[in-house]
Structure 1
Amino acid sequence: MLTPLRITLGGLAAAALLAAAPAPAADMPTFNLTIRAGHFVPETIEVPANTKFRLLIKNEGPGAEEFESVELRKEKVLAPGASSFLIFMPLKPGSYKFFGEFHPATAQGRFVAK
């Protein structure tokens, strides 16, 4: 049985955790990437340097594809018609390659952080 004191302390702990939470994802820059017949659209995505961002990925098929970046240590497999997202920590200015694991010859892209 919980006492009122425990509930109060639990409520205070929860409030402290919420106060320490990062800014809502709505404040994060978001970029779209479409996988279409073994190609990324667009192939180049300009992102702000030194800023955390979200990448929304949609696979328009016809088969599965995997977004992968070795240098950024990110990967995500999407079935045909599926959508998902990845969160990227701030990138230093530069160019960062990504590719499609299932169509490496045609699914090539890059982020350019400016």
Structure 2
Amino acid sequence: MRGMRLTGWVAFVLVASIPAALADSAVTITLKDHHFTPDSIAVPAGQRFRIELTNLDSTVSEFESYDMHFEKIVVGNGGKIHVFAGPLHPGQTYKFFDDYNPDSQGTITATTKKD
């Protein structure tokens, strides 16, 4: 029983520290008039990052990416969500879109670090 408590505590500490570690790696996207801004984003390859999306449209959106394996509903009129993605492969481009408005699309490209 004692080992189970320690394991649970360790798991809590590890999970609780993940968002803090990724806070500096946030990508901010806005959805307005069914258009993502920015619609083309570069992130460092090999690192996890957080995407923060604000929906300024009056309608609900489903922020989705088959390539990055996420989908999340975001309400309109200023609704905000965040998803975690990565690590991504260097040089690869990944698509995201609004499943309710297929013309609303964007890409994230994983770049290699330049020396």
* TM-score normalised by length of structure 2: 0.79
Letter in 1 for 2:107: R
Question: Does the Cα contact within 8 Å between 1:52 and 1:90 map onto a contact in 2?
Answer: yes
Unpaired segments ≥5 residues, structure 2:
none
Q: Deviations over 1:51-81 (max 9, x none)?
A: 0110011101121111111122211111112
Percent of paired sites with the same residue: 30
Q: Compared with structure 1, are the counterparts of its residues 62 and 48 closer, same or farther at alpha carbon in structure 2 (3 Å cutoff)? A: same
What is the Cα-based RMSD across aligned positions, in Å? 2.3
Q: Does 1:101 align with 2:95?
A: no
Q: Compared with structure 1, are the counterparts of its residues 62 and 24 closer, same or farther at alpha carbon in structure 2 (3 Å cutoff)? A: same
Q: Does 1:91 align with 2:85?
A: no
Question: Does the Cα contact within 8 Å between 1:68 and 1:74 map onto a contact in 2?
Answer: yes
Q: Deviations over 1:11-62 (max 9, x none)?
A: x716860696164423311110111111111001111100011001110112
Distance 2:40 2:31 in 1: 13
Higher strand share: 2
Larger Rg computed on CA atoms:
1
* TM-score normalised by length of structure 1: 0.79
Superposition map of 1:1-114 within 5 A: 9=2, 13=6, 17=10, 21=14, 23-28=17-22, 29-80=25-76, 81-93=78-90, 94-105=92-103, 107-114=104-111
Unpaired segments ≥5 residues, structure 1:
1-5
SS at match of 1:109: strand
